[in-house]
Amino acid sequence: MRKGRRVSLDPGSVRIGVAVCDIDGILASPRPALSAGDLEAVGVVVEEIESLEIIVGLPVGLDGVEGHAALRARDFATQVRRATSVPVRLVDERLSTVQAQRGLHDQGRSVRQSRAMIDSASAAVVLQYALDVERSTGDPPGEVLEDQ
111-137 and 96-106 helices, crossing angle to 10°: 120
- Give the pLDDT confidence score for residue 102 in this predicted structure: 59
131 by DSSP, 3-state: which? helix
- Give the pLDDT confidence score for residue 98 in this predicted structure: 47
Q: On the CB side of 24, how many CA atoms lie within 13 Å of its CA?
A: 2
- Give the pLDDT confidence score for residue 63 in this predicted structure: 81
Kindly give the confidence (pLDDT) of every residue in the chain, 148 residues in length, as a single tens digit, with 9 standing for 90 and above: 999 999 999 998 899 999 999 999 999 999 999 999 899 999 999 999 999 999 999 988 778 788 898 999 999 999 999 999 999 999 988 654 545 455 545 656 555 555 567 788 889 999 999 999 999 999 999 999 976 5
Report d(CA 146, CA 148) in Å as an integer: 6
Q: Is residue 148 part of a domain?
A: no
Backbone dihedral angles phi then psi of residue 37, each to the nearest 5 degrees: 85, 0
Report d(CA 38, CA 65) in Å as an integer: 28
Q: Is 20 within 8 Å of 26 (Cβ atoms)? A: no
Q: Is residue 41 part of a domain?
A: yes
Alpha helices in 50-95 (DSSP H): 68-83
Q: Is residue 125 part of a domain?
A: yes
63 by DSSP, 3-state: which? coil
- Give the pLDDT confidence score for residue 115 in this predicted structure: 57
Q: Is residue 145 part of a domain?
A: no
Report d(CA 126, CA 120) in Å as an integer: 10
Q: Is residue 45 part of a domain?
A: yes
Q: How many domains does the chain have?
A: 1
Q: Is residue 48 part of a domain?
A: yes
Q: Is residue 76 part of a domain?
A: yes
- Give the pLDDT confidence score for residue 39 in this predicted structure: 96
- Give the pLDDT confidence score for residue 12 in this predicted structure: 86
68-83 and 39-49 helices, crossing angle to 10°: 60
Q: Give the C-alpha distances (Å, rounded to integers) separating 27 from 4, 30, 80, 112, 148.
A: 12, 10, 23, 26, 31
Q: Tell me, what CATH number does 15's domain have?
A: 3.30.420.140
Q: Is residue 52 part of a domain?
A: yes
Q: Could you tell me the residue range of the domain that residue 65 belongs to?
A: 6-135
- pTM score, two decimals? 0.85
